[in-house]
Amino acid sequence: MSQAAAALAAAVFALAACSREAPPEIHFTASNVTGATFGQDFALPDATGHVRRLADFRGQVVLVFFGYTQCPDVCPTELVRLAELRRQLGAEASKVQGVFITLDPERDTPEVIGEYVKAFDPSFIGLRGTPAEADATARAFRAFYQKVPGSAPDRYALNHSTHLYAFDPAGRLRLLMQSSAGVEAMVKDVRTLLAGH
């Protein structure tokens, strides 16, 4: 009982401390999903076979995008925006990690995904699990995708959600960035996260 009371007191104190130290308003252009219970972590092999997890990127803002390399325009456009975001961050770019998770491991081999993401920014990491792992990760992130049959069995397309998941340097999911957001606004949001807000 007294332990609980102490914990409560500590929590209240911490909250009070936070509200004193934090600026009056933390404004993000992106959707603020701080405290979300989805998108907690991933554990998928990169192009070299190393399993990467969110904890590997502590101290960095991690931006996660789900897509597939046979995607003709939406995925490249998003990755171009991510690369532009890093360019605009200048010296702070090293504190931002772009992660591309394929929803199409059947066609996106490790070789394809590795070369693909690096064509946009050499720092980007492409992750590819088994189809079951890709599906489980998408579900855990509430990323939607759906196979659309094409004119031949290997010519299917994927309908998929297009937002970026932004994690703060402590590894907490904080923002969902919409594909319609301007890069400048995204840069501002990332800087806010890097500042520890």
Residues in the site for other proteins, rule: CB under 8 A? 69-74, 76-77, 79-80, 83-84, 107, 109, 111-112, 115-116, 119-120, 144, 148, 150-152, 154-155, 157-163, 178-180
Backbone φ and ψ of 102, nearest 5°: -80, 140
Q: To the nearest whole angstrom, how small is the minimum distance from the Cβ of residue 103 to other proteins?
A: 11
Instruction: Give the Cα separation of 51 and 65 in Å (integer).
Output: 17
Amino acid at position 78, single letter? E
Which residues face 53 on adjacent strands?
43
Instruction: Give the Cα separation of 45 and 127 in Å (integer).
Output: 6
Q: Which residue, 58 or 147, is less far from other proteins as judged by CB?
A: 147
- Please, are residues 64 and 142 in contact by the beta-carbon 8 Å criterion? no
Q: Which residue, 6 or 80, is less far from other proteins as judged by CB?
A: 80
Q: To the nearest whole angstrom, how small is the minimum distance from the Cβ of residue 5 to other proteins?
A: 44
Q: To the nearest whole angstrom, how small is the minimum distance from the Cβ of residue 89 to other proteins?
A: 17
Amino acid at position 19, single letter? S
Q: Which residue, 131 or 150, is less far from other proteins as judged by CB?
A: 150
Q: Which residue, 108 or 168, is less far from other proteins as judged by CB?
A: 108
Q: To the nearest whole angstrom, how small is the minimum distance from the Cβ of residue 172 to other proteins?
A: 21
Half-sphere exposure of 104 (CA within 13 A, CB side): 21
